[in-house]
Structure 1
Amino acid sequence: MNVNRFKKKVLYLTVLLLVVIQGLSAQSGEYLYGYVLDASNGEAIVFANIHLKDRQTGVISNFDGGFRIPSNYKELGDILVFSSMGYEKEELSITEFIKDTNVVVKLRPSTLQLTEVDVIAPKRLKKELSPKEIVSKAISLITSNYPIEPYSQIGYYRDYQMDHDEIINLNEAIIEVVDQGFNAVDSTTSKVLIYDYIENIDFRRDTFALKPYDYDLKEGGKVIDRAFLDGYGGNEFVILSVHNAIRNHEMSSYSFVYKLDTDLLNEHSFKRTNDTFLNDDYVYTIEFTKKKYNYLAVGKLYINKSNFSINRLKYALYHTKGKNSLNVSDKNGVRKTLIFDVVTEYRKNGDKMFLNFISLNNNFKVLVPPKINVEFIDFNFTAERLEKKKIEFNHDNFVLNFNKDINGLIINNLWKKGILFKGQSIKIDRAVVIGNQLVLYPNLSNAKFKKFFEEFDVEKEQFMSDLVEFNLSELRDDDGNEVGMWTTKYYNQYREYFVQENNSKPRYIDNSLLMDKKRPIFDNQPNSKPNNFDNYWMNTPLRSTVDQ
Structure 2
Amino acid sequence: MKKGLLKFKIIFVLALLWSSMSDATILFKEDIKITLDLKQVAILEVLSEIERITEFTFFYKNEDVNLNTIVTIKLSETPINLALAELFKEKPITFKIIKNQIVLKKKNLHDNHNQELQILCKVIDYKTKTPLSFATIRVKNTSLGVIADDKGQFRVPYKYKQNNDTIIISSIGYKTKEIAVNNLKDRETNIIGIETKIETLAEVDLENNKKRLSIKQIVEKAIESISDNYPSNPNSYVGYYRDYKLIDDEYFNLNECLVEVFDGGLQTHKFSDPNNQAVLYNFHVNENFKRDEYLETPYDNKRKKFIKGAILSPLGGNELSILNAHNPIRNHNDFSFSFMDIFKKDFVSNHSFKFLKRTSLNDTPIYEIQFEALRTVTEDNYKISGKLFIETTNFSIHKIEYEVLEVELEIINPHTAKPDDLDIIKTYKPFYSLKLEYAPLKDKMYLNYISFNNHFQLKNKARFKVEKISYDNERNAFLIQFNNPLVASYVSFGSGRKLIPASNKIKNYVFNYKKRKLKVKNIEMINYTLMRVNLKDNKFSEELSDEGNITKHLKYQIRNLRDVFDRKLNKTKELEIYQFREFFVQEVFPNKELPSNIEFVNKTLPLSQSKIHKFEAKNKYWINTPLQVIKD
Asked if these proteins are the same fold (TM beyond 0.5), I'd say yes
Residue equivalent to 2:279: 193
Paired letter, 2:391: N
The offset of 1:292, in angstroms, is 3.1
Question: Relative to 1, partners in 2 of residues 1:514 and 1:75: Cα closer, same or farther, differing over 3 Å?
Answer: same
Paired letter, 1:196: N
Question: Relative to 1, partners in 2 of residues 1:312 and 1:377: Cα closer, same or farther, differing over 3 Å?
Answer: same
Q: What pairs up with 1:106-505 in 2 under 5 angstroms?
A: 106-113=193-200, 128-189=212-273, 190-209=276-295, 211-215=296-300, 221-230=304-313, 232-290=315-373, 291-292=378-379, 294-321=381-408, 336-368=428-460, 369-373=462-466, 375-376=468-469, 401-403=480-482, 408=501, 409=503, 433=523, 436=531, 438=533, 472=557, 474=559, 476=561, 482-505=568-591
% identical aligned pairs = 29
**CA distance in 2 between partners of 1:77 and 1:507 (Å):** 34
The offset of 1:463, in angstroms, is 6.9
Residue equivalent to 2:84: none
**CA distance in 2 between partners of 1:173 and 1:275 (Å):** 37
In the alignment, is the contact (CA less than 8 A) between 1:372 and 1:481 conserved in 2? no
SS in 2 for 1:513: coil
Residue equivalent to 1:543: 628
**CA distance in 1 between partners of 2:326 and 2:409 (Å):** 26
**CA distance in 2 between partners of 1:106 and 1:142 (Å):** 34
Paired letter, 2:468: E
Deviations 1:457-492 (A, max 9, x none): xxx99977567765x375545977544223333332
SS in 1 for 2:111: coil
Deviations 1:345-367 (A, max 9, x none): 00111111110000111223333
Question: Relative to 1, partners in 2 of residues 1:505 and 1:461: Cα closer, same or farther, differing over 3 Å?
Answer: closer
Paired letter, 1:191: Q
In the alignment, is the contact (CA less than 8 A) between 1:514 and 1:526 conserved in 2? no
Higher relative contact order (CA 8 A, sep 6+): 1
Deviations 1:188-210 (A, max 9, x none): 2211111222222232322222x
1:43 aligns with 2:130: yes
Paired letter, 2:464: K
Deviations 1:72-103 (A, max 9, x none): 33444433211112111122233323444543
The offset of 1:432, in angstroms, is 5.2
Question: Relative to 1, partners in 2 of residues 1:339 and 1:440: Cα closer, same or farther, differing over 3 Å?
Answer: farther
**CA distance in 2 between partners of 1:105 and 1:355 (Å):** 25
SS in 2 for 1:264: helix
Question: Relative to 1, partners in 2 of residues 1:488 and 1:504: Cα closer, same or farther, differing over 3 Å?
Answer: same
Deviations 1:376-413 (A, max 9, x none): 47799xxxxxxxxxxxxxxxx99684537896346666
Q: Which is higher, the Rg of structure 1 or of structure 2? A: 1
Question: Relative to 1, partners in 2 of residues 1:486 and 1:91: Cα closer, same or farther, differing over 3 Å?
Answer: same
Question: Relative to 1, partners in 2 of residues 1:257 and 1:419: Cα closer, same or farther, differing over 3 Å?
Answer: same
Paired letter, 1:71: Y
In the alignment, is the contact (CA less than 8 A) between 2:135 and 2:152 conserved in 1? yes
List gaps (5 residues or longer) in structure 1: 1-18, 324-333, 381-396, 443-455
In the alignment, is the contact (CA less than 8 A) between 2:121 and 2:192 conserved in 1? yes
Question: Relative to 1, partners in 2 of residues 1:215 and 1:482: Cα closer, same or farther, differing over 3 Å?
Answer: same
In the alignment, is the contact (CA less than 8 A) between 2:207 and 2:213 conserved in 1? no
Question: Relative to 1, partners in 2 of residues 1:360 and 1:434: Cα closer, same or farther, differing over 3 Å?
Answer: same
**CA distance in 1 between partners of 2:212 and 2:535 (Å):** 82
The offset of 1:106, in angstroms, is 0.8
SS in 2 for 1:208: helix
In the alignment, is the contact (CA less than 8 A) between 1:473 and 1:482 conserved in 2? no
**CA distance in 2 between partners of 1:70 and 1:467 (Å):** 64
Paired letter, 1:57: L
The offset of 1:373, in angstroms, is 2.6
**CA distance in 2 between partners of 1:359 and 1:186 (Å):** 17
**CA distance in 1 between partners of 2:482 and 2:208 (Å):** 82
In the alignment, is the contact (CA less than 8 A) between 1:86 and 1:278 conserved in 2? yes
The offset of 1:426, in angstroms, is 5.9
Deviations 1:5-56 (A, max 9, x none): xxxxxxxxxxxxxx9x942134587333322111002121110011123322
Mean Cα deviation higher: 146-155 or 484-493:
484-493
The offset of 1:172, in angstroms, is 1.6
**CA distance in 1 between partners of 2:385 and 2:207 (Å):** 34
Residue equivalent to 1:69: 156
Paired letter, 1:215: D
SS in 2 for 1:88: coil
In the alignment, is the contact (CA less than 8 A) between 1:232 and 1:238 conserved in 2? no
Number of matched residues?
A: 479
In the alignment, is the contact (CA less than 8 A) between 2:477 and 2:532 conserved in 1? no
**CA distance in 1 between partners of 2:447 and 2:145 (Å):** 13
In the alignment, is the contact (CA less than 8 A) between 1:24 and 1:542 conserved in 2? no
The offset of 1:434, in angstroms, is 5.6
Question: Relative to 1, partners in 2 of residues 1:222 and 1:150: Cα closer, same or farther, differing over 3 Å?
Answer: same
**CA distance in 2 between partners of 1:43 and 1:204 (Å):** 27
SS in 2 for 1:490: strand
- Alignment equivalent of 1:532, drawn from 604, 617, 624: 617
**CA distance in 2 between partners of 1:212 and 1:307 (Å):** 45
The offset of 1:243, in angstroms, is 0.8
The offset of 1:125, in angstroms, is 6.4
Residue equivalent to 1:452: none
Question: Relative to 1, partners in 2 of residues 1:233 and 1:125: Cα closer, same or farther, differing over 3 Å?
Answer: closer
Question: Relative to 1, partners in 2 of residues 1:335 and 1:501: Cα closer, same or farther, differing over 3 Å?
Answer: farther
Deviations 1:476-513 (A, max 9, x none): 45977544223333332221111111111214423532
Paired letter, 1:353: M
The offset of 1:107, in angstroms, is 0.5
Residue equivalent to 1:451: none
Residue equivalent to 2:121: 34
Residue equivalent to 1:327: none
SS in 2 for 1:306: coil
**CA distance in 2 between partners of 1:123 and 1:248 (Å):** 32
Mean Cα deviation higher: 397-406 or 183-192:
397-406
